[in-house]
Structure 1
Amino acid sequence: MNSFLSTSTSSSIALGFSGNGSGRPLVKPVFFEIHCPVKEYQTKPFANIQNYSYTKEENEELSDTIWHVKLTLCDDDNDLNRIESIDYLKSEIDHRLDISFLAKLFIDINELDKAKDLYNLIVKDLPSDHCDRVSIKTNIGTIHFGNGQYCDALKYCRQALKINRLLMPKDFITLSMILNNIGHAYNKLGNYLESIEYHKKALQIQKKFLIKNNLGYATTCKHLGVVYDCLSKHKLALTYLEQAKKILEKYLPEIHPHIGDTFNNIGEIYLSNNRSNEARINLEKSLEIRLESLPTDHPILSVSYSNLGYAHDRLGNSQKALEYHNKSLNICLKSMSKNHPDLATTYNNIAQCYNELDNFTSALFFS
């Protein structure tokens, strides 16, 4: 925004100006909430003009009909990582300002219901032989991943694969991505050998037709690392994940969520290998990146807190472990359905912590 904004410190006044959209059905009202950490900056890039305002009571934040956008003020000198991430996001958005990209953005910030509504809107008028059905099926599968519905995720990924082979047989980038997603679904369902098969198919395509060491290749390496960790092949798993991290750090901003994911995966391998302190270091780095780049109630943060709980439990600090598992639970309750498998796991982790602290009443309550 390269212009002056008229704002208010009163949320009710701001909402009054935004309106409820009833007078303009094709336009969506947007309510902006701007966080200004002024203590971090030498100068204030805003001024209170209440005494000069025509309407002094304005003191120049929601409803279902208004979009709520939260912004954080950035400074060129103090927020280099954030600015680098913003520039990367801008490059991703260029030439993709359509409703499908908005739906994908909703997936990234865990607004899964909104994403699904948009995809249903798109697909309603889409011809059955339209190539966009491939990405829509793939992304609906991603929504089911987020909801812990792995069988449904696999179903939509297989549908995407069928359409891709029919309509876009030479689109190897999309093909490798779909194969990766199918492999990921099999991993979540505990079918590790099938998972490896699909990930290696994706890897072969990427090596043969695509530029090696690109982001898709890194994603495949990361997924293979996770599966091999599940099979207790920790050394091989770590090799794949370190390779993925090296590529991601080359092409992505320092605080990109994908890099945070990789640090988390490496931490999980160290946990599996009983190297708890190394696990803690990588998991703390992952949490730091995720807190910088994701909404505070994003479900992936519950994984970070949960894993740090495991690490501190292994290090003999049950009280600290309990604190992390409780943080994980708070996010799960906000962002997941009541029947999500991760929620049951979190309750069990808390019960184990209470049991180790000899608080058997609380342990029984969470069991």
Structure 2
Amino acid sequence: MAFFMHDLHCQIEHLYQEWIDKPNLLTVYRGQIVTQSDFEKLKIGQGGLLSFNSFLSTSTNREVSLIFADSNGSDATFIGIFFAIKINSKLSSTPFISLGNLSHFEEENEILFSMHSIFEIGEIHQINERLWQVELLSTINNDKRMTELTDYIRQHTTKSVNYPWFRLAELFFQMGHHDEAEGILQQLADLLSIYAPNSMVHRIVLHRLGLSKHVKGDFTNALSLFEKVLQHHDTSVENSAYLHIELGKTHFSMNNYSTALLNYKKSLEILETTTNCDSYSFGICLGYIGETYLRLGKPRDAQFYVKKAIEICRRILPSVHPFFGNTYNWMGEANRMTGDYPTAIHYYELALKIQEKYLPPDHLDLAHTLDDLGIVHETLQNHSSALSYQQKALQIRSKSLSSNHPDLAKNYVNIGSIYESTRNYIKALSFYQKAVDIYEAHSDEIFLDLATAYHNIGNVFLEMRDCPTSLGFFRRCLKIEEQKLSPDHPTVAKTYSSMAVAHLASGENAMAASLLRKALMILEKDSNSNGPDLANTYRILSGVYFNMNDYPTALSRAYQAREIYESIYPPTHSERVMLDMFIALVHEMLKNN
């Protein structure tokens, strides 16, 4: 079949060159049925480029093409597309021929284009409820976007491996077809382990196989492959810097944040001696260091590195490069963690704007940004918006990931948190349990996000006044955090505060006060902590002192909480409203005593 297709392409090119009286300007038409999701991609891509991956049959007969476009019947899952394709043969080298008398259906006036013809997507307008017209324009030979696209493909495909099967696997990987890529790479790795073990080609194939394993959530095997490749690399060369980045990303996905940071900094150390400090690799590494500091509970350190990454990449990348989607997302998260929610939303929306325009609608980076927007809107108690963002993120991840992938569990936790906020505790627990089932199924790995799920379940039981069950889940949470985090991590402090609330609800004021003091020791000495967690700890501690009839100290702690709340929450936020009511109560008690 491949030989036939190549021969047909050559014949079209040959006849096109010999077609002396071909028209300079030509409009042809094509009717086609597409799915709703494919049509959405087409609309998002307006102004960009569209490639047809097969030979393209069109007609100069408008009416015939309309019949094909309007043949979707009553199936609501499909949309009819009427393509109007405008060709300027003086400016474009896209080969096409008129089949004329060669076609069995002469009345169709068929014009046949060769494979992979590329057009610009022009105007799109609706003809009727189920039929749309899309204007396509032939690209000129020196089209800047085509040049940039060709250069991008050249830069992002490995030239050092000339095996056709490897190139095919790499294309599958770039397109997001990871199962197909992994199947080919595994066969190549098996062959090379016999005939060329530890050769450069073998190492490259193992590296790509590790990337495929990582994307699919098989972190243990990905880590093993990266470490195997690194064993046979010169630790001072630039390629080993990239391997340390991949090792860092894999440890990051396994919640081994300190180890991830060590690998990123090792990569940075190598890059500083082997490449330009204004290089894309250098900028990426700085960005990953910033992302890791976010997970280590150090948002201000994260901002420092991410800002440096943005400064470097702005000098060398176009403003809409997908990497800016990541960096803006990290800046959004850093601002969310410090309680600057308007700025967080601003950065998240910048990231989303880039990702929606230049990534496929089911890309995982898009899901990540939607997820983060959902989290910040839930914090601001915009519950309907939060749920909408989380459901969109879940829909994307469900299409691209296996049913037990840890990223799906993150979505379940975040959706459960929204239901918890709206006091729908049964639904919240059902989503939390889905997440727990996924994390516990990965028995060879301990996920920090499992601690988050346990923490949230503990919160639900606390809201339901079941303090013993609540404390049980908080202790399970703390056990994982003590394994995965440093003792002075802000997340550990948050768990201490939650445990204190459970003890307070049980009338155990002394135990609650002890836990809150441990939390404050962590939060007050951390320069990164000046957000909701610190404010919540002050608020809870004020309640403890209130129960102990120490009203002046209760008032002092309440005002410390209020100062932070006023800087991060709107006046109508429930935390501010309830705290103001509590402060009024304390003032009343002071008057009466």
Match of 1:86 among 135, 149, 153: 149
Which position in structure 1 is the counterpart of 2:189? 123
Which position in structure 2 is the counterpart of 1:253? 318
Q: Using the TM superposition, give the Cα deviation of residue 109 of structure 1 relative to its aligned residue in structure 2, in angstroms.
A: 3.1
Letter in 2 for 1:140: L
CA 1:71–1:122: 2 relative to 1, 3 Å: farther
Structure 2: gaps (5+ residues):
1-8, 17-25, 35-51, 58-83, 89-96, 123-138, 433-593
- Partners of 1:5 and 1:202 in 2: how far apart? 54
Q: Using the TM superposition, give the Cα deviation of residue 331 of structure 1 relative to its aligned residue in structure 2, in angstroms.
A: 0.8
Which position in structure 2 is the counterpart of 1:342? 407
Match of 1:307 among 369, 372, 387: 372
Q: Using the TM superposition, give the Cα deviation of residue 282 of structure 1 relative to its aligned residue in structure 2, in angstroms.
A: 1.1
CA 1:46–1:314: 2 relative to 1, 3 Å: farther
Is 2:157–2:170's contact at 8 Å kept on the other side of the alignment?
Answer: no
Which position in structure 1 is the counterpart of 2:551? none
Question: What does the per-residue CA deviation read over 1:169-218, in whole Å, with 9 as the maximum and x for residues that have no partner?
Answer: 66x12110001111222222222222222211111111112222211111
Structure 1: gaps (5+ residues):
13-28, 35-42, 61-67
Match of 2:201 among 132, 139, 157: 132
Letter in 1 for 2:315: K
Structure 1 residues 264-275: aligned runs within 5 Å: 264-275=329-340
Bigger radius of gyration among the two: 2
Is 2:28–2:86's contact at 8 Å kept on the other side of the alignment?
Answer: no
Is 1:322–1:353's contact at 8 Å kept on the other side of the alignment?
Answer: yes
- Partners of 1:302 and 1:33 in 2: how far apart? 34
Structure 1 residues 321-332: aligned runs within 5 Å: 321-332=386-397
- Partners of 2:216 and 2:53 in 1: how far apart? 27
Structure 1 residues 92-131: aligned runs within 5 Å: 92=155, 96=159, 98-126=164-192, 127-131=196-200
- Partners of 1:203 and 1:118 in 2: how far apart? 32
Letter in 2 for 1:300: D
- Partners of 1:101 and 1:69 in 2: how far apart? 18
Which position in structure 2 is the counterpart of 1:196? 261
Alignment coverage as a number of residue pairs: 330
TM-score (norm 1): 0.77
Letter in 2 for 1:327: K
Q: Using the TM superposition, give the Cα deviation of residue 84 of structure 1 relative to its aligned residue in structure 2, in angstroms.
A: 7.7
Match of 2:86 among 45, 50, 53: 45
- Partners of 2:185 and 2:146 in 1: how far apart? 30
Q: Using the TM superposition, give the Cα deviation of residue 164 of structure 1 relative to its aligned residue in structure 2, in angstroms.
A: 2.0
- Partners of 1:70 and 1:318 in 2: how far apart? 46
Which position in structure 1 is the counterpart of 2:295? 230
Which stretch of the first structure deviates more once superposed, 310-319 or 118-127?
A: 118-127
2:315 pairs with 1:218: no
Q: Using the TM superposition, give the Cα deviation of residue 265 of structure 1 relative to its aligned residue in structure 2, in angstroms.
A: 1.6
Which position in structure 1 is the counterpart of 2:353? 288
Question: What does the per-residue CA deviation read over 1:98-141, in whole Å, with 9 as the maximum and x for residues that have no partner?
Answer: 54344334333321111112212433443113202222222222
Which position in structure 2 is the counterpart of 1:149? 218
- Partners of 2:243 and 2:348 in 1: how far apart? 28
Match of 1:73 among 117, 120, 124: 120
Identity of aligned residues (%): 24
Letter in 2 for 1:307: D
CA RMSD of aligned residues (A): 3.9
Question: What does the per-residue CA deviation read over 1:256-311, in whole Å, with 9 as the maximum and x for residues that have no partner?
Answer: 22221111122122222222221111111112212222221122221111011012
- Partners of 1:70 and 1:358 in 2: how far apart? 55
2:342 pairs with 1:277: yes
CA 1:81–1:281: 2 relative to 1, 3 Å: farther
Is 2:335–2:341's contact at 8 Å kept on the other side of the alignment?
Answer: yes
- Partners of 1:158 and 1:74 in 2: how far apart? 45
Q: Which secondary structure state, in structure 1, belongs to the residue aligned with residue 391 of structure 2?
A: helix
CA 1:196–1:254: 2 relative to 1, 3 Å: same
Letter in 2 for 1:279: A
Which position in structure 2 is the counterpart of 1:9? 31
Is 2:170–2:181's contact at 8 Å kept on the other side of the alignment?
Answer: yes
Q: Using the TM superposition, give the Cα deviation of residue 232 of structure 1 relative to its aligned residue in structure 2, in angstroms.
A: 2.0
- Partners of 2:424 and 2:116 in 1: how far apart? 43
Structure 1 residues 50-65: aligned runs within 5 Å: 54=103, 55=105
Higher strand share: 2
Which position in structure 1 is the counterpart of 2:247? 182
